[in-house]
Structure 1
Amino acid sequence: MARKSKSGTNKSQEIRNYKGANPAASPKEIAEVLSKSGVSISA
């Protein structure tokens, strides 16, 4: 079973939420925006 992250943030869900609000966003743009808000993501 996978462990939960210590921050409690589900990165996949954060990406889905952003993609839902911004359907034309590129993966690089999504990673940039989410990393600014404290979610570490590689693109």
Structure 2
Amino acid sequence: LSCHDASLAIKPVFDRFQSVVITSGTLSPIDLYPRLLNFHPVV
């Protein structure tokens, strides 16, 4: 069993692009993904 930091994997994408659209079929709880990926949502 291992735990990976998802923000490390997505950081190159955030660094390369000014805007990133993240979609999911299960965005619940809504505040989970910004915390996991270390970003500030616009909405």
Q: Higher relative CO (CA 8 A, sep ≥ 6), structure 1 or 2?
A: 2
Q: Which has the higher helix share?
A: 1
**TM-score for both structures, normalised by structure 1:** 0.32
**TM-score for both structures, normalised by structure 2:** 0.32
